[in-house]
């Protein structure tokens, strides 16, 4: 795929409905990009892809590098791109909102577009959660959300990878900014709940607009029958 | 593009907001498919593409074959596919709802998918409207809708081309079935308001699910700034 075209498998609202049993094999997924995020069968952990490597960040704190040449791992949901920054800046921020403001300043007038981004550097604090996986088929994401594990990493070097999705596509993606983190040592990470820089220690923000979006819809029984009317409030609670 | 992958330029909710000045040149558009529908600069008429030919069906009743090798025509919105039927049936229906029922019977369990379809044959009646074009830049689609032209064709041979879009993507496409018509003689056509078969004279319905959808978002000033929160009721009135 060309640079900066977004590939997405399934939609976030299907995930919200607990559809975690089927998905795209990671072997196939990585042909669509080297940078992105997603999840695994039965939402067992958080996925991050950077520089072509794919990691599973699990609720017990362990991190597994995925064998994308084979293996049986699947993604019920994923967003990937072949990332090439169109703009970069050294930035500092005190929280996620500060990050979003920095991204909006770097790439203004993108409210109706998808944006891919990456932040590299030393962070004062990164708070993450990792989904613990469904015990039962179709288990509600509300239940899953209640027993997620959270971690706080302080003074950690690493990378944040993510996407901004337009408000009017809430349910297709996560409206607003969706961030996953992994440490340089590849030993800590998860879905970012909060992130903070050290004062006067900027991190490197890179980003690019994705005007071409390739959506692939599942075609299994679960997807065919699920009710996908978006519940925006649930997405905000779980993925915000 | 491979068969039965949907290519879409812009989103219907941008059209609803009156964005008609910019778009994709038809020369480029036709590389994405041979079957589809859309509109023209400032919503000047209805577009239908079938068997690789593209027609502009204007409010004055005239029909123009578009030169897709060059020309200055652009599409502010379009949906195209390289159509190859995965299912066909001889069907009869008394109205648009009857058509939708026939399509749901032919391809069940597709409520969360895009479906491309085509109906060929002799129709007892086809009622169409054709948009008359914006007089002013950004003129509201509500105003445009009030001065559209409607025509009723009786005992007419022709083709209906269209797409079914999932309910949860209202605003991206037109949720439900969206139909354009052109006669075999290529002298009558428009956006289908109602359609009826002769009793005991079946027409041929062909359809295919489109699980891969390629969305291209405009990147002009108008699109960057427009409010795209979907107004589902307006889309139903104007495009339903």
A111 and B224 within 8 Å at the Cβ level: the answer is yes
Task: Sort out which chain A residues have CB atoms less than 8 A from B111's CB and list them.
Answer: 224
Q: Which of A171, A209, A216 sits opposite B212 (nearest CB)?
A: A216
Q: Is the pLDDT of residue B56 over 90?
A: yes
| Residue A151 half-sphere exposure toward CB, CA atoms < 13 A | 21
A131-153: pLDDT as tens digits:
989 988 888 787 888 888 999 99
- Backbone φ and ψ of B185, nearest 5°: -80, -5
Average pLDDT, chain A: 94
| Chain A contact probe: residue of B15, B168, B223 with most A CBs at under 10 A | B168
Task: Find the closest chain B residue to A9 by CA distance.
Answer: B212
Asked if A112 has any chain B CB less than 8 Å from its own CB, the reply is yes
pLDDT band at residue B172 under the 50/70/90 scheme: very high
Rounded to the nearest 10°, the torsion over CA B179, B73, B226, A205 is 110
A78-109: pLDDT as tens digits:
999 999 999 999 999 999 999 999 999 999 99
Task: Write the DSSP assignment of B56-88 as a string of letters.
Answer: EE-TTS-EEE--TTS-S-EESSEEEE----SEE
pLDDT the model gives residue A229? 78
Asked if A229 has any chain B CB less than 8 Å from its own CB, the reply is yes
Asked if B22 has any chain A CB less than 8 Å from its own CB, the reply is no
Q: Is the pLDDT of residue A235 over 80?
A: no
* Selected residue with higher pLDDT from B171 and B180: B180
Task: Sort out which chain A residues have CB atoms less than 8 A from B169's CB and list them.
Answer: 172
| CA–CA dist B122, B94 (Å, integer) | 13
A105-135: pLDDT as tens digits:
999 999 999 999 999 999 999 999 999 899 8
A142-183: pLDDT as tens digits:
788 888 899 999 999 999 999 999 999 989 999 999 999 999
pLDDT the model gives residue A230? 58
Helix, coil or strand: residue B200: coil
Contact B20/B226 with Cβ under 8 angstroms? no
Average pLDDT for residues B85-93, to the nearest whole number?
98
Task: Sort out which chain A residues have CB atoms less than 8 A from B109's CB and list them.
Answer: 221, 224-225
pLDDT band at residue B142 under the 50/70/90 scheme: confident
Asked if B60 has any chain A CB less than 8 Å from its own CB, the reply is no
Biggest CA-to-CA distance, chain A: 53
By residue range, what is the domain housing residue B66?
Answer: 5-239
Pairing of strands B5-9, A189-197: unpaired
Respond yes or no on whether ipTM tops 0.90: yes
Give residue for tokens 């042909």.
A31
B228 and A167 within 8 Å at the Cβ level: the answer is yes
pLDDT the model gives residue A231? 65
B226 and A112 within 8 Å at the Cβ level: the answer is yes
B215 and A215 within 8 Å at the Cβ level: the answer is yes
Q: B102: domain CATH number?
A: 3.30.1330.80
Say how many C-beta atoms besides its own lie within 10 A of residue B101's C-beta.
13
pLDDT band at residue B230 under the 50/70/90 scheme: low
* Selected residue with higher pLDDT from B236 and B5: B5
pLDDT the model gives residue A218? 97
pLDDT the model gives residue A144? 86
User: Where would I find the H helices in B8-132?
Assistant: 12-16, 26-29, 96-106
Region for residue A171 given its phi and psi (left: phi exceeds 0; alpha: psi -120 to 50; beta: otherwise): left
B217 and A211 within 8 Å at the Cβ level: the answer is yes
Task: Find the closest chain A residue to B213 by CA distance.
Answer: A215
Average pLDDT, chain B: 94
pLDDT the model gives residue B145? 82
Task: Find the closest chain A residue to B107 by CA distance.
Answer: A224
- DSSP structure class, residue B44: B
Contact A100/A110 with Cβ under 8 angstroms? no
Q: Which of A110, A171, A211 sits opposite B168 (nearest CB)?
A: A171
| CA–CA dist A141, B113 (Å, integer) | 23
Burial of B73 (0-12, 13-18, 19+ CB in 10 A): buried
Asked if A232 has any chain B CB less than 8 Å from its own CB, the reply is no
Tally of domains in chain A: 1
Say how many C-beta atoms besides its own lie within 10 A of residue B52's C-beta.
11
Asked if B171 has any chain A CB less than 8 Å from its own CB, the reply is yes
């Amino acid at each position: 795929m060309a640079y900066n075209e977004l590939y997405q498998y399934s939609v976030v609202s299907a995930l919200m409905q607990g559809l975690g049993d089927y998905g795209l094999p990671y072997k196939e997924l990585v042909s669509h990009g080297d940078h992105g995020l997603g999840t695994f069968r039965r939402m067992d952990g958080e996925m991050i892809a950077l520089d072509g490597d794919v990691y599973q960040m699990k609720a017990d704190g362990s991190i597994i590098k995925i064998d994308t040449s084979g293996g049986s791992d699947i993604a019920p949901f994923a967003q990937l791109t072949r990332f090439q920054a169109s703009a970069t800046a050294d930035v500092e921020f005190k929280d996620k909102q500060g990050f979003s403001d920095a991204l909006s300043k770097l790439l203004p007038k993108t409210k109706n577009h998808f944006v891919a981004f990456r932040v590299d550097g030393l962070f004062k604090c990164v708070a993450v959660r990792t989904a613990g996986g469904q015990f039962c088929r179709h288990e509600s994401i509300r239940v899953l959300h209640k027993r997620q594990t959270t971690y706080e990493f302080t003074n950690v070097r690493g990378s944040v990878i993510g996407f901004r999705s337009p408000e009017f596509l809430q349910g297709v993606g996560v409206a607003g900014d969706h961030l996953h983190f992994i440490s340089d040592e590849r030993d800590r990470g998860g879905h970012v709940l909060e992130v903070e820089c050290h004062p006067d220690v900027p991190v490197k923000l890179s980003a690019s607009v994705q005007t071409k979006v390739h959506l692939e819809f599942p075609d299994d029984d679960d997807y065919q029958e699920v009710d996908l009317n978006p519940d925006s409030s649930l997405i905000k609670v779980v993925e915000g």
